[in-house]
Amino acid sequence: MGESIWTWITRICAVGTLVYLMAVVGFDKTPTWAFILLIGLFFGPDAIKGNISLLGAGTRKNGNGNGNGKP
């Protein structure tokens, strides 16, 4: 329960900051490192837990250890 709350808090902060940057500051005046930090804030909790699959949903390992998504 606590991990889920923390995940949504970080995502809300990332999206809120992105909206602020779009509305007030503008993309042309925002440094690149700010966007990198926002990406880390949004995807960080899932990356730490290992829930991000860069190769697509069909390549996640299932219970028997193979990576093809088939039992």
- Alpha helix ranges (H) inside 27-69: 32-49
| Structure tokens belonging to residue 64 | 């028997």
Q: What whole-number distance in Å separates Cα of residue 3 and Cα of residue 33?
A: 26
- Domain assignment present for residue 11? The answer is yes
pLDDT single digits (tens) 1-48: 777 888 888 888 888 888 888 888 888 888 888 888 888 888 887 777
- Domain assignment present for residue 53? The answer is no
Q: Say how many domains are in the chain.
A: 1
- Domain assignment present for residue 22? The answer is yes
Q: What is the chain's length?
A: 71
Task: Identify the domain containing residue 29 by its residue range.
Answer: 2-48
CB of 21 closer than 8 Å to CB of 63: no
pLDDT single digits (tens) 50-69: 776 665 555 555 555 555 55
